[in-house]
Chain A
Amino acid sequence: MNVFNPQSFQAPATDDAWLPSSCALCYGTCSILAHRVNGAVVKIEGNPESAVGKGRLCGKGVSGIMTHYDPHRLRYPMRRTNPRKGLNEDPGWKRISWEEALGEIAEVLRKVRKDDPRKLVVQRTTTVTASRVPLHAFATAFGTPNFSVSGGGQHCGNGAHLISGIMHASWSVVPDFEHCNYAIFFGASKGHSAGHASCSNMGKAADARARGMKMVVVDPLCNFAAAKATEWVPLRVGTDAALALAMCNVIVNELGIYDGPYLQAKTNAPYLIGPDKLYVRDPGSNKPLVWDNRSSSARPFDEVLAADMAIEGDFQVGGKPCRPAFRRLREHLRQFTPQWAEGISDVRAAVVRRLAKEFATEARIGSTIVVEGVALPYRPVAAIAFRGSQGHRNSVYNFYAVDLLNQLVGAADVVGGCLGFNPASHGHPETGKVRYIPTAGPDGLMVVGSWMGYHYPYPPAEPRAPRNLGLQDLFVIGMTSPFLDSSDSEAIWDKLGIDYRPEVMINFGANLVMSIANKDAVAASLSRYKLIVSFDLFLTETSSFVDIILPDCGYLQSLDSRSNFPFIFSLPAGQGEWCWPIRQPVLPPDGEQRQFAEVLLELADRVGIRADLNAAYNAWLDLQPPYRLAGNTPYSYEDICDRELKNHFGPQNGLDWFKQHGLVKWKKTPQEVYWRPFVDVRVPVYWEFLKPIGEKIAAIAEPRGFTVPQEYYEPLPSFLPCRSHCCDKAGFDFYGFYYRDIIHTNSFTMENPWLDEAARLDPFSYTIAMNRSEASKRGFTDGQLVAVESETGRKVAGRLKLTEGIHPEGLGFAAMCGHWTDGQPIAKGKGVFYNDLLEIDWEHASPVNINLDLCVKVRVTSAERVS
């Protein structure tokens, strides 16, 4: 058995050390220094040596000490004694030994694997970024494709990440804070709240604002980013695409501003589009054709100098009329007038025009800048989007429309523009690793150089009759799925002919009941499992459905050779340093706690899949000889971490070296940071690939009784309403939405007493934000207890916080509060459980990327007792 041995962790008699490691209070995973005195951590600070956080640490990070020492931490494995599972059932926990727990789990897993390995669902929280590889490796070795990331991935992932991948070869986008002069945020708080490179970006954003960067925040709520912005533009919830499309129209058709050379060389703007909305292709090579102004003929795109490609005009090729994609885009945009956008988004037409003009003018199209001796295009504007704008049924077009702003003015991955998080890396100067660069894929369009997993943004996979429970192999534009937990999942699986059902779940740290949607639907989905095993720090609401609880080590007790995903996830974009930090144990396990990654290794031995697990680690970590794991050798997790580090950074830089130094770093070059001019790839301003994908999905799904609306698969974006926008029930006049509280990480940190205290001092964390004028019209008062009801009859209750800082039709809820478990007494009863208003079914999932619709039309009524 591979067990972390507390005996080997004897602190010296005079123990006073600052140890470099990594935070895990959110997925930003900033680098930390933990101050240990006589075996106890007394302080946590940011590590100034690291580029991940740059010495800064947010309130959550410094409070991690309280999560670690929480008396309600789990210390022993437990098995439920009550066979009935339900939201109000007491599991009747009984302490068991690790031997009992793992013996029982392994026996079930052996049977399931022999029967059908797909019946295992592996599920993790995204809060601990480093959990990805051990859990993926285990699922891979076992042979199941059914992997889920609960609400954390589902609520932010499908639009934002895949489209960032298509357009910027990265997981997320951010302004180039060092050089950007005008940034417009659509439902994003990058640099002002939690998440990707949060602490690094906070410093960069603050410096940028101090330097004079104008920051416009488009958001229903004036909170973390908007409160610090130059301008807050409140809009109707979920209508970002309307505003962005109208801005694009003004820029291109009213102002006549666009970066023609960029569009010619770096996008598919010149590709000729036929009447069928598809590329006109060369009959011989099948490559998309462009119109070559030099020869006045249609030629394959890669045979024509970019400057000679037409992006305007009408042409005839093979007797058929066709137009360059840009001309089609330009014509398409004409329908989105500022007046039209005002009706949809509630942003005045004059404001739309002004924002568009400011953005386009500040782009300084045609200008260059010299950075460290390298001449580069200079476009100091950026339009970014994230959770707020992408958390809707129209997720794809919301994000696509926002990024078109960058593409039209050439502000993509150049100095001052919209940057992906480190899409191109030349690798460590001594080893050349980790090295990746975007490449040109089918039709010359960009394929990411690095990606988390193998569901690449482009080219999309071929849709097939689904075999995965989440249907991602049918809805190939999606990534994370609601269908493992949806209220209609059984009916969907039946209709689509999926011939197996989930039986066993291994969960790492996710509180599914609270983090996905309404608790009844998720509870029903969890009730059908024959065995749920959960690695946890605390009992959660989801524990009511768990059969065996395994007490995990916290981040201060854990080891990880890659605490971050390199480098597209949480290393800050822009100039600076490459940085690879590790996580190392600062404290020993308490009681019988064990790090989940070690437990999974032992489980693999017991199930008889160690050779598969070793092969899976080799593949996920890209281990090369002599560091590959061999056969069924029982490596410890520490061995594996050591091998990964030596594989990337040489034999002298193994785990021992990293434990001493905490991280390795080296300087980024301008060619890496501003890679776009140097890499011959194009991005789609016309998504030709969507149309055939939609037709193929419809061909599979519609004969089985599903409707796949093709307006979601048009190559050019439109505003498509959420279900909330279509609700006209009397009295339902607010759009409910939730936002990520800066003080908390979803539902996870509510039990932390310091964060709870901060949240109680914050007037918004545990309340419902309502526009003061609207409240006055309805007779609501500050602090009043109200009931909030969805159009489907779901209800939550909470106290109002009245503010001018919210759109009149918006109703804002912070994070995912409202715990009710006794296992988290500090969190219990605080705040409002917004997700309980969310439906989770086919109708509320995007027909294109299966993104769950996170806005709800609601009615608000008083819940105060009448005296």
Chain B
Amino acid sequence: MRTSEASPSDLGHADLGHAQGSFAAASGAGVRWDAVVAPQSIDRVPAPRPPIHNSAQPIQVHLQLFGALATCCPQRSLCFEQPTGTAIIDMLLAAQERLRAPLLVHVLDASGAKRRHCRLFVGGYAVEDLRTPLDATTGRAEIDIILLIAPEGG
């Protein structure tokens, strides 16, 4: 282990001029806060996803609602068809229309993004981006949606 100590004159930056670009010189090791930011060094492993369905045939959607969603919608299970490539958000709109219940208010926040405590699974895999196309190798998409509890402590 080796350290590279800053000289006393490098301790702190009393004004803007000294704040700019002084870190690299002080470190001696060429390490800069911004320079060491290397997104590729911690790449996110993409979540496993169901393989793409290449068929032009429509997809059979089987939507299941659990927990609080199941108690506030008239049906907890719904089967319907959607064209291949339909985004999940469009599938949800179609489901809401069929359910005649305000499903999306539970799924989406005010900005239109999926609520964090709403977990949505396609074929058993969690999906965060609702613009993701709805595809499945079998021509069938199993969708599970559940609302978890937001607050926690400890």
A199 within 8 A of B: no
Interface 1/0 per residue, A303-336 and B, CB below 8 Å = 0011110111100000000000000000000000
**Contacts A427-B45, A680-B37 given; does A260 touch B151 at CB 8 Å:** no
Residues of B within 8 A of A311 (CB): 16, 19
Tell me which residues across on chain B come within 8 A of A435, comparing CB atoms.
Answer: 44-45
Cα–Cα distance between A618 and B21 once the two chains are bound (Å) = 49
Complex CA gap A410/B13 in Å reads 13
Residues 373-387 of chain A: 1 if any B CB is under 8 Å from the residue's CB, otherwise 0? 001111000000000
Q: Which residue of A lies closest to B30 (CB)?
A: A375
Q: CB-defined interface of B82-103 with A at 8 Å, one 1/0 digit per residue?
A: 0000000000000000000000
- Contact residue among A140, A262, A462, A479 (Cβ-Cβ distance under 8 Å from B152): A479
A89-142 residues at the B interface, CB under 8 angstroms:
113, 117, 126, 129, 132, 136, 139-142
Residue of A nearest to B10 (CB): A366
B16 to chain A, nearest CB (A): 4
* A680 interface neighbour in B39, B67, B152, Cβ under 8 Å: B39
* Nearest CB of chain A from residue B53's CB, rounded to whole Å: 17
Q: How far is the CA of A152 from the CA of B152 in the complex (A)?
A: 11
- Give CA–CA (A139, B37) in the complex, Å: 41
A675, B41: Cα distance in complex, Å? 10
Cross-interface CB contact of A369 among B1, B13, B64, B121, cutoff 8 Å: B1
| Chain B positions 26-58 with a Cβ under 8 Å from a chain A Cβ | 26-34, 36-39, 41-42, 44-45, 48
Within 8 Å CB of A376, what residues of B? 31, 36
Contacting residue for B146 out of A264, A366, A424, A615, CB 8 A = A615
Check if A831 is an interface residue, CB within 8 A of chain B: no
Interface pick from A347-355, A449-457, A489-497, A541-549: A449-457
B66 within 8 A of A: yes
Interface residue from A368, A453, A612 paired with B149 (Cβ < 8 Å): A453
Known A-B contacts A153-B154, A678-B36; the reply to A307 vs B21 at CB < 8 A is yes
Do A364 and B11 have beta carbons less than 8 Å apart? yes
The reply on A293 being an interface residue by CB < 8 A is yes
Closest A residue to B123 using CB positions: A625
User: SS class of chain B's interface: helix, strand, loop or mixed?
Assistant: loop
Of A264, A360, A473, the contact of B150 (CB 8 Å cutoff): A473
Q: Which residue of B lies closest to A409 (CB)?
A: B12
A157 at the interface (CB under 8 A from B): yes
Closest to A462 in B: B110
Interface membership of A611, Cβ < 8 A = yes
For residue B114, give the distance in angstroms from its CB to the closest CB of chain A.
11
Minimum C-beta distance from B43 to chain A (A): 9
A-side contacts of B109, CB under 8 Å: 461-462
Contact of B151 among A258, A472, A618 (CB under 8 A): A472
Chain B, 134-151, contact with A by CB distance < 8 Å: what is the 0/1 string?
Answer: 000000000010111111
Q: Smallest Cβ distance from A194 to chain B, in angstroms?
A: 13
Which A residues from 596 to 615 make CB contacts under 8 A with B?
611-612, 615
Which residues of the partner chain B approach A615 to less than 8 Å between Cβ atoms? 64, 66-67, 144, 146
User: What is the CB-to-nearest-CB distance from A840 to chain B, in angstroms, rounded to a whole number?
Assistant: 15
B151 touches A481 (CB 8 A): yes
Once A153-B153, A313-B16 are accepted as A-B contacts, the answer to whether A616 and B148 lie under 8 Å apart by CB is yes
* Interfacial chain B residues near A27, Cβ < 8 Å: 154
Which B residues are CB-close (under 8 A) to A148?
Answer: 153
Question: How many angstroms from the CA of A364 to the CA of B29 in the assembled complex?
Answer: 15
Q: Which residues, 611 to 657 on A, are CB-close (under 8 Å) to B?
A: 611-612, 615-616, 618-620, 622-625, 628
Nearest chain B CB to A412 CB, angstrom units: 11
Most B Cβ at <10 Å: residue of A256, A310, A366, A410: A366
Interface residues of A in 447-471 (CB under 8 A from B): 452-456, 461-462, 468, 470
Cβ of B14: which chain A residues have Cβ within 8 Å of it? 256
A7 within 8 A of B: no
Contact present for A364 and B5 (CB under 8 Å): yes
Q: Which residues of chain B are within 8 angstroms of A307 by Cβ–Cβ distance?
A: 20-21, 32, 34
| Residues of chain A contacted by B152 (CB below 8 angstroms) | 132, 136, 147, 149, 153, 452-455, 479-480
Size bin of chain B's contact surface: 35 or more
Instruction: State in angstroms the CA–CA spacing of A539 and B41 once bound together.
Output: 54
Chain A 291-311, CB within 8 Å of chain B: the 1/0 string?
001000000000001111011
* Least Cβ–Cβ distance between B152 and chain A, in angstroms: 3
> Chain B nearest CB: distance from A545 CB in Å?
21
CB distance from B132 to the nearest CB of A (A): 16
A612 interface neighbour in B33, B38, B70, B151, Cβ under 8 Å: B70
Alpha-carbon distance A569/B132, docked complex (angstroms): 32
Measured between beta carbons, the chain B residues less than 8 angstroms from A368 are 3-4, 27-29, 31
**Residues B67 and A453 in contact, CB atoms below 8 Å apart:** no
Q: CA of A264 to CA of B23 in the docked complex: distance in angstroms?
A: 11
A426 at the binding interface (Cβ < 8 Å): yes
Given contacts A140-B146, A366-B26, A367-B27, is CB(A456)–CB(B116) below 8 Å?
Answer: yes
**How far is it, in angstroms, between the C-alpha of A259 and the C-alpha of B26 when the chains are bound?**
11
Nearest chain B CB to A450 CB, angstrom units: 12
Contact status of A366 and B67, CB under 8 A, knowing A470-B151, A618-B144: no
Assess the A306–B153 pair: CB atoms within 8 A.
no
B75 located at the interface, meaning its Cβ lies under 8 Å from any Cβ of chain A in the complex:
no
Say whether B6 contacts A265, CB under 8 Å: no
Contact A625:B124 (CB < 8 A) given known A143-B70, A472-B150:
yes
Which one, B33, B36, B66, B116, contacts A264 given CB within 8 A?
A: B33
From B33, B42, B44, A266 is in contact (CB under 8 Å) with B33
Is the pair A616, B151 in contact by a Cβ cutoff of 8 Å?
no
Q: A153-B154, A256-B12, A261-B22 are in contact. Are A679 and B70 (CB under 8 A)?
A: no
A454 and B67 in contact (CB under 8 A), knowing A365-B11, A368-B3?
Answer: no
Contacts of A141 on B, CB cut-off 8 Å? 66-67
A305 near B34 with CB under 8 A, answer yes
- B49 → A minimal CB distance (Å): 11
On chain B, the residues within 8 Å of A140 by CB distance are: 66-68, 146-149
Is the C-beta of B119 less than 8 angstroms from some C-beta in chain A? yes
Q: Which chain A residues (430-445) contact chain B, with CB distance < 8 Å? A: 432, 435, 437
Nearest-neighbour CB distance to chain B for A782, whole angstroms, equals 37
CB-nearest residue of chain B to A464? B110
**Is A498 located at the chain interface by the 8 A CB criterion?**
no
Residues of A within 8 A of B70 (CB): 143, 612
CB distance from A478 to the nearest CB of B (A): 8
Mark out the residues of chain A between 474 and 488 whose CB falls within 8 Å of any chain B CB in the assembled complex.
479-481
CB distance from B124 to the nearest CB of A (A): 4
Nearest CB in chain A: distance from B118 CB, A: 9
Chain A contacts with B in 365-417, Cβ cutoff 8 A: 365-371, 375-378, 410
Q: Taking CB as reference atom, which chain B residue is nearest A269?
A: B19
Q: How far is the CA of A153 from the CA of B151 in the complex (A)?
A: 11
CB distance from A285 to the nearest CB of B (A): 15
Q: How far, in whole Å, are A416 and B125 apart by their CA atoms in the complex?
A: 39
Contact A258 B153 (CB under 8 A): no
Please name all residues of chain B whose beta carbon is closer than 8 Å to the beta carbon of A699 when the two chains form the complex.
none
A261 with B126: CB separation less than 8 A: no
Q: Give the complex CA separation of A312 and B17 in angstroms.
A: 9
Contacts of B64 in A (CB 8 A): 615
The residues of A that contact B3 with a CB separation of less than 8 Å are: 367-370, 378
For the complex, is A58 an interface residue (Cβ under 8 Å from B)?
A: no
Contact B15 A367 (CB under 8 A): no
Contact in complex: B67, A157 (CB < 8 Å): no
Q: B23 contacts A367, CB within 8 Å? A: no
Q: Is the CB of B23 within 8 A of A152?
A: no
Can you list 16 A-B pairs with a CB-CB distance of less than 8 A? Answer: A126-B154, A143-B67, A156-B154, A158-B153, A255-B12, A256-B12, A265-B33, A265-B34, A368-B3, A368-B29, A375-B31, A376-B36, A454-B148, A454-B152, A624-B48, A625-B124
A140-B146, A367-B4, A453-B117 known; 17 other A-B pairs, CB under 8 Å? A129-B154, A141-B66, A141-B67, A143-B67, A153-B154, A256-B15, A260-B20, A261-B32, A263-B19, A365-B10, A366-B10, A369-B3, A377-B33, A437-B42, A454-B150, A461-B109, A625-B123
Closest 3 CB pairs of A and B: A153-B153, A260-B19, A257-B12
